[in-house]
Amino acid sequence: MAVHAVALKLPEFWEASASAWFAQTEAQFALRDITADTTRFYYVVSALGSSTASRVVSLLKHPPAMDKYEALKAHLLKTFELSDAERASRLFSLQGLGDSKPSELMDHMLDLLGEHSPHFLFTQLFLRQLPSQVRAALANTTITDCRQLAEEADKSFVASQERYVMAAFLAPHGDPVTMEDSTLIAATSSRRQQSSGRQQPSGPQQSSSGLCFYHEKFGPKAYRCRPPCRFGGSGNARAGAQ
């Protein structure tokens, strides 16, 4: 069968995400109207790295007479995609949001689900990974679409972060703050610091002894003093007090 040459350079095969690589590759084939089986086969072969090619070398040396591309695709997906047992294990091993948004977690979970359809247990598993206040906000939701549910979770998540950060600044000292609230406050504060790229100004500070920085370090030989300072004396010891 003839191979039709078309200007196309595919990215190197993604062993960690084979199905996503094939989705992008087939989009490129569709845009360039590449339909010939042999042409598709050799394009995929040219995109395999050495480690990947070594895993399918027998098929590369002896491809079938018909449906070469589909045979290579099936072999690569079987080799590098997760099994159903591995998918289930990773779904049940999720450890909450981490530093992700609910929608990012949903994307990850749907990717782990693969070709399987989500059901009510999948939705409940997603909700279990969310902070309690976000779960409470979604307790009576009638949304069944996974991505729409994740979008609503994002809204509640952002609102809860803002509420708890504000409460942390306004509440009297000594008020109890739950571990979950503290995590939200710390995460939001960290994100704000990273986005602003600012650092708090630094400078000489008063020590716990009641002495200023200079008297704490140099004693009577200090020629500067920064109030408040409990050091007494005269001459250089009081210099800077003027």
Domain that holds residue 235: 209-242
Whole-angstrom distance, CA of residue 108 vs CA of residue 94: 10
**In a shared domain, residues 94 and 191:** yes
Percent of the chain with pLDDT over 70: 73
What are the tokens at 205?
């500070």
**In a shared domain, residues 54 and 119:** no
Residue 10 lies in a domain: no
**In a shared domain, residues 90 and 183:** yes
What are the tokens at 119?
């059901």
Q: Where are the alpha helices (DSSP H) in 129-219?
A: 132-137, 146-170, 179-196, 213-218
**pLDDT tens digits, one per residue of 190-216:** 555 555 554 544 455 555 677 787 777
Whole-angstrom distance, CA of residue 106 vs CA of residue 9: 31
Whole-angstrom distance, CA of residue 211 vs CA of residue 237: 12
Burial call 176-214: b when 16+ CB within 10 Å, e when fewer: eeeeebeebbebbeeeeeeeeeeeeeeeeebeeeebbbb
**pLDDT tens digits, one per residue of 146-189:** 999 999 999 988 887 776 656 555 555 445 445 455 555 555 55
Tell which of 46, 63, 80 closes a domain.
80
Which DSSP helix (H) or strand (E) runs through 123?
helix 120-128
**In a shared domain, residues 89 and 160:** yes
Cβ 203 vs Cβ 218: under 8 Å: no
Residue 72 lies in a domain: yes
Q: Given this model, what pLDDT does residue 164 score?
A: 60
- Look over the chain and give the mean of its residue pLDDT values, rounded to a whole number: 78
**pLDDT tens digits, one per residue of 56-102:** 999 999 999 999 999 999 999 988 888 888 889 888 989 888 888 99
Q: Which amino acid is at 82?
A: L
Whole-angstrom distance, CA of residue 165 vs CA of residue 182: 9
Whole-angstrom distance, CA of residue 236 vs CA of residue 220: 7
Residue 1 lies in a domain: no
Residue 203 lies in a domain: no
Q: Given this model, what pLDDT does residue 182 score?
A: 52
Cβ 62 vs Cβ 75: under 8 Å: no
Residue 137 lies in a domain: yes
Residue 204 lies in a domain: no
**pLDDT tens digits, one per residue of 6-32:** 678 899 999 988 988 999 999 999 999
Q: Please tell me the total count of domains within the chain.
A: 3
Q: Given this model, what pLDDT does residue 227 score?
A: 76
